[in-house]
Amino acid sequence: MKMSNKSAGTMFEREFAGKLAKNRFWVHRFQDNKNGQPCDVIAARNGKTYLFDCKDCAGAFQLSRVEENQYNAMYLFHLTGNSRGMFAVRYDPEVIFLVDYQVLKDLQDRGVRSIPRVAMTRYGRTLNDWLQELNDSEIGDETIDHTDWR
């Protein structure tokens, strides 16, 4: 039996949140409500907060799936001192791309309607690459405790 788009999307949100949690993030999933919500996941780690909306794709990622309230929420989230909101786009179970909300907004404003999987590397990076970059930068941020002489 084929899974509905809503069920597949909810499953992806759970899997995405789980991947972040396994990488030392505090994670909260926003549950669907009748008024809708502008994002699916908020995550925090090492003093930084991140906002994500998850998009599960069978083919090309249709930019029409991104709503104005999502852009607005991510813009305001960034404007208040947080990181830039991102869309987590999954084309298949193995690869998740993270794309900055402003990149998608600019593409949509230029008339781009969809992004095929082969082109996504131009606009975003994989979740694994992003996590590795965070891990590498946090290692450089660690302070040395000069009081522990053991």
- Confidence band for 32, pLDDT divided at 50, 70 and 90: low
pLDDT at 127 over 90: yes
CATH of the domain at 23: 3.40.1350.10
The answer to whether residue 77 is domain-embedded is yes
The number of folded domains in the chain is 1
Closest CA to 58 of 12, 104, 103: 12
Which residues, at least 6 apart from 51, have a Cβ–Cβ distance to it below 8 Å? Answer: 39, 41, 42, 73, 74, 77, 82, 83, 85, 86
Q: Is residue 86 part of a domain?
A: yes
In a domain, 45, yes or no: yes
Q: pTM surpassing 0.75?
A: yes
Domain range for residue 75? 5-140
Quote the pLDDT of residue 64: 95
Instruction: Detail the DSSP E strand segments found in the chain.
Output: 26-29, 41-45, 48-56, 61-62, 86-92, 95-100, 114-115, 125-126
Which residues lie across from 62 on neighbouring strands? 114
In a domain, 149, yes or no: no
Residue-wise pLDDT tens digits, 66-86: 999 999 999 999 999 999 999
Please give the residue that has the higher pLDDT: either 38 or 114.
114
Q: Does 147 reside within a domain?
A: no
